[in-house]
Amino acid sequence: MTDLKERNDFQERAATPVLMGLGLLAVIAVTILLTAFVLLNVTREIALVFASVLAAGILGSIALYASKDELTSSQRAVASLPAVLPLLIGVAVAGGLGGLADADLNINRLPIEVGIPFPADNSVTVVASDSIDFETESLTFPSGEEAVGILFQNNEAGVAHNVWIATQKGSIGESRALPNGELILDGGDAVTGVSEIEYAFTTAGISGDFVFWCTVHPNMEGPVTIGEDLELSAT
């Protein structure tokens, strides 16, 4: 009988840490899910305040739990309040009890904008072989296109080039010619030759005369024309 009791006590003692661990994991999972629900369903300003207050509350609860070696049930409840209360208030606000408009509630659910895929069948090729001029002298694009592309071939070994398009080149900033006016294509950082890079941009709602150039070597430039009756071309 004694052996059976000892065996049961051992099993209970062995199971307790496992059950506590599973319970802690469940609490963490619920906290993460509720926090995500709140952050996705409130305004950015409220989300920032909520995250700050919740983080402070969790730290406060941890400090209260660590202040004593052993806590009674009532003391544990009080120690949990700093972490639980902000979470409950946040859930209530996110659930529609805060009087926020639907557009504001869902503002953090807006889709992430992604880049325009390179349209290989609706693109032109621009070539650079030195730091004096592009081999490509001019570009034309039809307006109203959701996606047009430039395949840029940098054939100058060891030298960096890129392609930007804007209304005009601006002043030199940080040793680069920055865009001025309407920016059509942000060519990003220059790529070192010999290499290729694909650029994609839209001409929807765009027409007029522009310039393409290398921000590293601003003497490398050419005219760009975008219009309704124009064909895609690089000359």
Q: How far apart are CA 96 and CA 38, in angstroms?
A: 11
Q: Is the pLDDT of residue 91 over 70?
A: yes
The residue-averaged pLDDT of 94-104 equals: 63
Q: Is the pLDDT of residue 136 over 90?
A: yes
The total of other beta-carbon atoms located within 10 Å of residue 47's CB is 19
Q: Is the pTM of this model over 0.75?
A: no
The residue-averaged pLDDT of 93-108 equals: 62
Q: How far apart are CA 69 and CA 59, in angstroms?
A: 17
The residue-averaged pLDDT of 148-176 equals: 87
Instruction: Give CATH for domain 120-234.
Output: 2.60.40.420
* DSSP letter, residue 217: S
For 191, residues 6+ apart whose C-beta sits below 8 A from its C-beta are 152, 154, 160, 161, 162, 197
Rg (CA), the chain: 31
- Any idea where the domains of the chain sit in the sequence? 2-109, 120-234
The residue-averaged pLDDT of 93-120 equals: 66
The residue-averaged pLDDT of 105-117 equals: 62
Q: Is the pLDDT of residue 182 over 80?
A: yes
For 145, residues 6+ apart whose C-beta sits below 8 A from its C-beta are 122, 202, 203, 204
Residue 201 Cα distances to 10, 166, 186, angstroms? 69, 12, 9
The residue-averaged pLDDT of 181-200 equals: 92
**pLDDT at residue 5 in the model:** 52
**pLDDT at residue 102 in the model:** 58
Q: How far apart are CA 197 and CA 102, in angstroms?
A: 42
